[in-house]
Amino acid sequence: MSNQSPDLAKTLRKKRNDILELWMKNQLADVSLREDLLTNEELRAQSEELLDVLLQNLNERNIAEVESADFEPVVEVLSGISISRAKQGFTPRETGLYIFSLKDALLTVVQQELKDDPAQLVTAVLTISKLVDSFGVTTFETFIKGREEVILRQTDEITEISTPVIQLWDNILALPIIGTLDSSRTQVVMENLLQQIVDTGSSIAILDISGVPAVDSLVAQHLIKTVSATRLMGAECIISGIRPEIAQTVVHLGIDLSNIVTKASLASALRYAFGMLQLDVKKTIREK
Amino acid sequence: MIIPLNKEAVEVKKEQDTIFLRNRIKECATKTGMGLVNQTKLITAASELARNMLRYAGGGNVLVETVSKGRENGVRLTFKDTGPGIPDIAMAMKDGYSTGKSLGLGLPGTKRLVSEFDIKSTPGTGTVITIIKWKNG
């Protein structure tokens, strides 16, 4: 590790302007240059910043250690570039190629410098390749991290919007549950429902699970908890939307839902609720 | 003689993975021509076992296979984890027994939902559960 090109970092620092010019030339000559997303001046400023921070933090010791903590400022700048490029609409491929084009420039300069010493040239080429490759990987990681943040935010949004509590009638609330009922969603569902019971003073809540793909023991447990909590608030809870296949599965699993009023459809649950409230729905006969 | 027709491995490391697993199983089950009731039973069973795996072993791997035996087609699922294992399988297979705070229906319920159920567990090494649901089973 230690007996390689003793002044590689110094050479690179000395040749900083050459490297930058070469790099810019490479980038501008590339057919995939995205002038629509980033002007040449901005690109130059971005490249200059990255190159400078890289050369500043490069020394003989860490050039062969890509994991070295000395590169943290470089990684920071790199992450910034990767994220801003992702937002501007660059593809991951374009961002990757941007970093790898730096390698070409570095290698060309090193080649000129060490053309009389093939042995050292090979070591230098390997070292630089390793270093830039690791930077390339960093840009991918940041790129994916940026995307994952978007996905996480969307997941949160879905849980927020997917649990609306609807007032069907005076004193009757309905809560259609769509999608998988996991622990965190049950929490949201229960909170929304209990709060609405307080706000509207309703005495009957209908939980519709037509949109729940599978009812296993954990989902059932969550449902039972929600029903118990509703009862504690002095309201009655009806579970509707039990499909035939779900009914069979629940029985086989051995889940006991017999203490809970369950109905096959939301309509029959509503009819039952009307019955409890002693309401009657009648067809009116119009006088002609 | 059970012949696997095709197989696919699914990793279950977090709760969201169970949704992907369910979809893969549903696809396989639909391909064999399994009816809706049996499909739902299989998916519920898989969901129970995947949850157990997440809860007690911190995740594991699931092998989803379409298998055939004679004229019968079906889906075979192998749940493998390297968790703490189950010290007393007979106890774990009893209704209402749970070391966590669940209903204690996961393992016995799963057994009732599928056609074939096999469990092997070594404390400290991990658990392997294999279930098969035949198309008309």
pLDDT tens profile B63-106: 999 999 888 899 999 999 998 988 888 888 888 888 777 777 78
What CATH homologous superfamily does A166-276 map to? STAS domain (3.30.750.24)
Highest mean pLDDT of the ranges A105-109, A189-193, B52-56, B60-64 = B60-64
Domain count, chain B: 1
Q: Are B41 and A202 in contact (CB under 8 A)?
A: no
Total length of chain B:
137
Q: What is the pLDDT of residue B5?
A: 86
pLDDT tens digits, A127-172: 888 888 888 888 888 888 878 888 888 877 776 666 788 899 999 9
Residues of chain B with Cβ-Cβ distance to A221 below 8 Å are 102-103
Which secondary-structure segment (H or E) carries A87? Answer: helix A72-88
Among the partner residues A182, A213, A217, nearest to B109 by beta-carbon distance: A217
CATH number of the domain within which B25 lies: 3.30.565.10
Q: Are B135 and B38 in contact (CB under 8 A)?
A: yes
Give the chain B residue whose CA is nearest to the CA of A249. B41
Minimal CA–CA distance to B52: which of B125, B112, B113, B109? B109
Among the partner residues A213, A214, A253, nearest to B109 by beta-carbon distance: A253
The chain-wide mean pLDDT, for chain A, equals 84
The chain-wide mean pLDDT, for chain B, equals 89
Q: Is the pLDDT of residue A36 over 80?
A: no
d(CA B55, CA B42): 20
Pairing of strands A166-169, A172-178: antiparallel
Answer left, alpha or beta for residue A102, where phi above 0 means left and psi between -120 and 50 means alpha. Answer: alpha
Q: What is the pLDDT of residue A277?
A: 92
Taking the Cβ of residue A215 and every Cβ of chain B, the question of whether any pair is shorter than 8 Å is answered with yes
- Model confidence band, residue A1 (pLDDT cutoffs 50, 70, 90): very low
pLDDT tens digits, A47-92: 888 888 888 888 777 777 777 777 888 888 888 888 888 778 788 8
Judge: A254–B95 Cβ closer than 8 Å, yes or no. yes
Give the chain A residue whose CA is nearest to the CA of B108. A253
Q: Are B29 and B75 in contact (CB under 8 A)?
A: yes
Taking the Cβ of residue B39 and every Cβ of chain A, the question of whether any pair is shorter than 8 Å is answered with yes
Residues 6+ positions from A262 with CB-CB distance below 8 Å: A238, A239, A240, A242
- Model confidence band, residue A2 (pLDDT cutoffs 50, 70, 90): very low
Residue environment code for B28-38, b if the CB has 16+ CB neighbours within 10 A, otherwise e: bbeebebeebb
Share of chain B above pLDDT 90, in %: 45
Q: Indicate the pTM of the whole model.
A: 0.65
pLDDT tens digits, A8-27: 888 888 888 888 888 888 88
pLDDT tens digits, A207-240: 999 888 888 888 888 888 889 999 998 999 999 9
DSSP 3-state of A145: helix
- Chain B nearest-CA distance from A273, in A, is 29
| Chain A with chain B: Cβ pairs closer than 8 A | 62
Residues 6+ positions from A236 with CB-CB distance below 8 Å: A203, A204, A205, A230, A261, A276
Quick one: CATH architecture of A8-159?
Orthogonal Bundle (1.10)
Range of the domain at B90: 3-134
Taking the Cβ of residue B63 and every Cβ of chain A, the question of whether any pair is shorter than 8 Å is answered with no
Taking the Cβ of residue A255 and every Cβ of chain B, the question of whether any pair is shorter than 8 Å is answered with yes
Q: Is the pLDDT of residue A275 over 90?
A: yes
Best B22, B23, B37, B51 residue to mutate vs chain A (most A CBs within 10 Å) = B37
Best A252, A257, A259, A260 residue to mutate vs chain B (most B CBs within 10 Å) = A252
Domain ranges of chain A: 8-159, 166-276
Minimal CA–CA distance to B78: which of B61, B55, B93, B90? B61
